[in-house]
Structure 1
Amino acid sequence: MANINLHNVSQAEEDLQLAKNDLIAFGKLFLKDDFMRSETPFFHYEVADAVNDLDIRQLAVILPRGHGKTVLTKCSIMHDFCFAEGPLFYGWVAASSKISVPNLDYIKYHLEYNDRVQYYFGDLKGKKWTEDDIELKNGCKLISKSNLSGIRGGAKLHKRYDLIVLDDFEDENNTITPESRSKINNLVTAVVFPALEPGSGRLRINGTPVHYDSFINNILVGYSKAQSEGNDFSWKVITYKAIQDDSTPIWPTWFGAEEMDRKKKFYADSGAPQKFYQEYMMEVQSEEDSIFNRNHIKYWEGDFKHDEETGISFLHSKDEGIKPLNIFVGVDPATDSTRRDSDFSVLLVVGVCPDNNIYVIDYIRKRSLPVLGIPGDFKKGIVDHIFEYNGVYHPSLFTIEDTTMSRPVFQALMAEMRRRNDFTVKYAAEKPGNRMSKRDRIQEILAQRFSVGAIHIKKSMYDLQREIITFGPRMGHDDTIDALAYACKYANPPNSIIEGKDGTYMKHKPRAKSWVTA
């Protein structure tokens, strides 16, 4: 650590004291080429404060491309190592060696050749000085890796990582398939997180979402959901779009309005307008590029009731009062062993009122859902939920996706009917077909209903809303909207229900005409 004389200090010592307490001041003093090119934007100060707060154990810095995430990381590592009062052990992960090696080269260069670093801190270069691993004379150690699994087993003597930074660790290449995205999630949670020093280790993520089901975007989704519901979230999240809601850029001196317009025009003229929204607006698929958008979604609030005496289901809407319903359920099982950990099994209930509006009443969306639960372990399977929904909602029809891998669902359903002596479940096996893609099939069923504003969901149905808004070629999951499409496939209004003069509803039962004629 530098020797700072707090009494009778010179200007140089004052500068050093300020740099110790202020990360941006450190950058301006020691890393001028990066920090003096432009006026420091407000969000850099926010990130700097969070980076220096040792009580923040999980920090996600999710900012547009080119907005200083990596520069701030380089600065914070330099700062921590220069002012270290004891040995620090850091890990730094990028998406490829083309990024991880230059990252470490930057640190090595400034520790070796930066005149100001040499003046204030002396020669810090230690005996180990390779392209992916360096150790300073003060005992600080930095490992820079090109993949998440490279962090596994890292330790300095008996100490685990004090800090691991995942810096733009996701890109278009490693998030292509559901399996690759699931692998990243598993590596972060099962390899990286356990590698931290217990009680003090910190995890920091820098990035821009590259896929709607990417780890970074799922943090954004979870954070937004926690905020809307007033719940705590395990990550401290700092995120901004390049252009704010008032149409002003967040970094006007570097990415001003003219520059952002130029970038937007470039992507549009290049035939990839969605890339601008992905790279700078933190939207993996923009509303301009999506098939459905927020304007297509209608909301409702209220309750569902079923009258056992008349056998009629009702919607109690806060805005529209009581409406009789026909109930339909769509079932999209993820029974493929290669998909069960990445896709969701979904059962979704809709009600159709006399004016042919669709109301999404309830749905179950779970990963790794078995076909049938094991008695005694309290874990329900798809078939158990079918019987449960049948008892609660009394649907006219379950429409279940029929594929080779979902055949066990039908076998278990028929076997369970015999075992329970309950044959009231009415279902149709619906083959996806080979003539059109899954996305085209979903669009064919739902497009007209969405276009006339006939589909209503609850605001709490976050996953369904997410899939509707992002429905298109770059969406993360389509399991919930697929179940909605199956539920709507044969949905029809309750034409056989009539309203009496006293305001009660009853099922119309046609009378047989007399054979006697005049």
Structure 2
Amino acid sequence: MSGLFEGLSDADLENIRDSANIAAEDKRIAKQSKAQERRALDRQEKEEKARKKRRAKSKHDFAYFCQTYMPDAFTLAFSEYQLALTRLAANRNLNRQDEALFKELIDPRDHGFIKQPISGEYEGILDIEPRDHGKTTRNTQAMPLWLALNHPGSFIVICGASADSAKEMMDAIKDDLEDNELILDDYGEQRGNTWTKRKIKLANGSSIVAVGRGQRLRGIKNKYQRPTHIICDDLLDDKEVESPTLRRQAERWFKRVIMNLGKGALTIIANTIMHPDDLPSRLLNQIEDGRLPNWLGLRFSAITPSGRPLFPSRWSLQDLENKRIASGSAWWTEWMNRPIADEDADFKEDWFIYFKPYELDLRDCTIGMAVDPATGLKKGDWSFIAVVARHKITMVDHVLFAKGWKESDLQFAQRIVDVYLQHRPSFVMFETVAFQKIYKKEVMRYAKKKGVRLPVREFKGGNKQVRIKSLSSQVENGLIQFLETQTLLRQMFLEFPRGHDDGPDAVEMAISGFESGFVGGAVPQTPRPIRTAAQALSRFGGGALSRILR
């Protein structure tokens, strides 16, 4: 080996070594470059494979599309009913499992709106959901995007209450098409030749149009194509819905314009029912009596018939109970989709007259008490006690005490005696069956322990709704007055007959105790009044008992 390099200078040897090192480095770099290219290709292949997988799944899974491409808007897990709605919108038919699910989650009174299509697929879906359950984002932003991107050639019309609300919907869709990086990566640049505040056309041939209620749409086309999907969201706002004229105009516009946009289009109406005579209420009636064949009506409430939250990942039962207290009478409109028109309400907010305790001299009053216990027959009922003072001269009834509890029978039995001791009424009205079967033993035992005998009058209930409704004119005319602190009782009156009626029932029972004739078929049981020795002696003056005991 040494002979090969004889005669070479040190400089020559250094050059040879440098050349060898350079060649080795070039080889290493080439190898590294090839490895990088291979990794880049592998990464591209993986990304392309993942892209194809995402797109393939998104095409048939709307919920997956929402949570994958719009994670900021869909941070919570879809609930059962929302998943069923996505299948319904995608397939335009209702499978038996989802039909059973809807009937489980929807009040039986509304099952008449759940009908299978007679022509094989639905032409319209009326999706009535509570406030803050995601219907607007899901239906007016995500649904048009999903259809336009995954079903090229779709022509979607979205409708809002006004031109401004329609513009907001369109802006949200354009923002995702222009700035959503994952949508751009997976579906490419989709901005087409038409890109206005009212209409956009995508590169894949899909189009989206946004309009407000009342705007002209007749003859709207995408070249020769009619709309494939029409999505409407809350076509009347909270104030407009109170106007009979605007309600009629909304229905007329919907029937003349929306329903004539194109044969074969699927119309989806996402709404909260704001009035018993608003557009979705009218459409429900038309679905039930067959005037809208191939339409499906779904009226959801925030709390299902079984007492569970409709959207549990968003609203717990306690959250909904807090919302109910905060919302007052609006609860039944915005959260349960069962509004009562102001003109039809049995009790109105401005009827309630309030008295101050110091304004009333109880020496001029007869005091009665009534107990309405929760019997366990209706989930969530309150056990309620009302104490009413009737002025002997004016005959005005003053609700001195009205409170409800959710507690055990034993606790409530003891509470009955405590409230009696606090107010010392002349009688205690108690529903006959509940008293005899559940409370008599415990009430009497605890009363004896406290050294009192309750003047119980047993009460055979009769028609509760008729009895409570009979108080309406008395409240309106100020013949029944309340304390401002009795918020739960007032809420129950305002919600009647939709919500819990335990408080109004107890008040009516107490007032019935003053009367000789009972309303609604109620029958009082009036044995000879039970009086303690102290009560008997009281008519001789406050010192009679002490004089005898001396």
With the length of structure 1 as denominator, give the TM-score of the two structures: 0.50
1:291 to 346, 352, 374: 346
1:185-200 to 2 correspondences below 5 Å: 185-196=251-262, 198=263, 200=264
Name the SS for the 2:326 alignment partner: helix
Aligned to 1:255: 315
CA distance 1:155–1:469, change in 2 (3 Å): farther
Q: Once the two structures are superposed, what CA deviation does each residue of 1:421-477 show, in whole Å capped at 9, x if it has no partner?
A: xxxxxxxxxxxxxxxxxxxxxxxxx9899759xxxxxxxxxxxxxxx979xxxxxxx
Alpha carbons 2:190, 2:202 under 8 Å: kept: yes
Cα deviation for residue 219 of structure 1 reads 2.6
1:242 to 278, 294, 302: 302
CA distance 1:266–1:224, change in 2 (3 Å): farther
Aligned to 2:126: 60
Alpha carbons 1:51, 1:76 under 8 Å: kept: no
Aligned to 2:266: 202
CA distance 1:179–1:128, change in 2 (3 Å): same
Give the number of the structure whose residues are more often helix, by fraction. 2
CA distance 1:186–1:59, change in 2 (3 Å): same
Q: 2: distance between equivalents of 1:217 and 1:27?
A: 29
Aligned letter for 1:183? Answer: Q
Q: 2: distance between equivalents of 1:70 and 1:450?
A: 38
CA distance 1:249–1:225, change in 2 (3 Å): farther
1:150-299 to 2 correspondences below 5 Å: 150-196=216-262, 198=263, 200-223=264-287, 233-268=293-328, 273=329, 275-285=330-340, 290-291=345-346
Q: 1: distance between equivalents of 2:181 and 2:210?
A: 24
Aligned letter for 1:107? Answer: I
Give the number of the structure whose residues are more often strand, by fraction. 1
Q: 2: distance between equivalents of 1:211 and 1:291?
A: 16
With the length of structure 2 as denominator, give the TM-score of the two structures: 0.47
Q: 2: distance between equivalents of 1:11 and 1:91?
A: 31
Q: 1: distance between equivalents of 2:202 and 2:249?
A: 33
CA distance 1:9–1:277, change in 2 (3 Å): same
Q: 2: distance between equivalents of 1:225 and 1:187?
A: 21
Alpha carbons 1:60, 1:237 under 8 Å: kept: yes
Cα deviation for residue 241 of structure 1 reads 0.4
Alpha carbons 1:184, 1:215 under 8 Å: kept: yes
CA distance 1:51–1:267, change in 2 (3 Å): same
1:47-446 to 2 correspondences below 5 Å: 47-54=85-92, 55-73=121-139, 74-85=141-152, 87-196=153-262, 198=263, 200-223=264-287, 233-268=293-328, 273=329, 275-285=330-340, 290-291=345-346
Aligned letter for 2:216? Answer: G
1:439-478 to 2 correspondences below 5 Å: 451=470
CA distance 1:146–1:449, change in 2 (3 Å): closer
Aligned letter for 1:23? Answer: F
Cα deviation for residue 173 of structure 1 reads 3.2
Name the SS for the 2:197 alignment partner: coil
Alpha carbons 2:213, 2:250 under 8 Å: kept: no
Alpha carbons 2:55, 2:150 under 8 Å: kept: no
Aligned letter for 2:266? Answer: R
1:27 to 51, 66, 88: 66
1:38 to 70, 76, 80: 76
Gaps of 5+ in 2: 1-45, 93-120, 348-464, 472-495, 499-550
Aligned to 1:304: none
Q: 2: distance between equivalents of 1:447 and 1:8?
A: 69
Cα deviation for residue 209 of structure 1 reads 0.9
Q: 1: distance between equivalents of 2:154 and 2:314?
A: 34
Name the SS for the 1:116 alignment partner: helix
Cα deviation for residue 124 of structure 1 reads 0.0
Name the SS for the 1:60 alignment partner: strand
Aligned letter for 2:63? Answer: I
Q: 1: distance between equivalents of 2:467 and 2:325?
A: 32
Cα deviation for residue 253 of structure 1 reads 1.4
Q: 2: distance between equivalents of 1:120 and 1:12?
A: 6
Alpha carbons 1:93, 1:148 under 8 Å: kept: no
Q: 1: distance between equivalents of 2:52 and 2:466?
A: 67
Q: 2: distance between equivalents of 1:450 and 1:133?
A: 53
Alpha carbons 1:170, 1:207 under 8 Å: kept: no
**Percent pairwise identity:** 20
Name the SS for the 1:220 alignment partner: helix
Q: Once the two structures are superposed, what CA deviation does each residue of 1:45-68 show, in whole Å capped at 9, x if it has no partner?
A: 111011112432111111111212
Counting matched residue pairs gives 283
Name the SS for the 2:91 alignment partner: coil
Q: Once the two structures are superposed, what CA deviation does each residue of 1:63-104 show, in whole Å capped at 9, x if it has no partner?
A: 11121212222222111111224x222211111234222211
Alpha carbons 1:277, 1:286 under 8 Å: kept: no
Cα deviation for residue 206 of structure 1 reads 0.7
Q: 1: distance between equivalents of 2:157 and 2:71?
A: 25
RMSD: 3.2
Q: 2: distance between equivalents of 1:39 and 1:8?
A: 26
Q: 2: distance between equivalents of 1:250 and 1:225?
A: 27
Alpha carbons 1:125, 1:137 under 8 Å: kept: yes
Alpha carbons 1:172, 1:211 under 8 Å: kept: no
CA distance 1:42–1:286, change in 2 (3 Å): farther
Cα deviation for residue 13 of structure 1 reads 2.6
Q: 1: distance between equivalents of 2:55 and 2:198?
A: 29
Q: 1: distance between equivalents of 2:246 and 2:85?
A: 29
Q: 2: distance between equivalents of 1:447 and 1:286?
A: 19
Q: 2: distance between equivalents of 1:8 and 1:104?
A: 30
Gaps of 5+ in 1: 1-6, 293-445, 453-467, 471-518
Q: 1: distance between equivalents of 2:55 and 2:155?
A: 23
CA distance 1:159–1:9, change in 2 (3 Å): closer
Cα deviation for residue 141 of structure 1 reads 1.5
Q: Once the two structures are superposed, what CA deviation does each residue of 1:269-319 show, in whole Å capped at 9, x if it has no partner?
A: xxxx2x1110010011299x9429xxxxxxxxxxxxxxxxxxxxxxxxxxx
Aligned letter for 2:82? Answer: H
Name the SS for the 1:29 alignment partner: helix
CA distance 1:98–1:142, change in 2 (3 Å): same
1:489-504 to 2 correspondences below 5 Å: none
Aligned letter for 1:220? Answer: L
CA distance 1:262–1:286, change in 2 (3 Å): farther
Cα deviation for residue 26 of structure 1 reads 0.8
Q: Once the two structures are superposed, what CA deviation does each residue of 1:208-267 show, in whole Å capped at 9, x if it has no partner?
A: 1111111101233444567xxxx9954112331001122221111101112212211212
CA distance 1:224–1:244, change in 2 (3 Å): farther
Q: 2: distance between equivalents of 1:11 and 1:155?
A: 36
Name the SS for the 2:254 alignment partner: helix
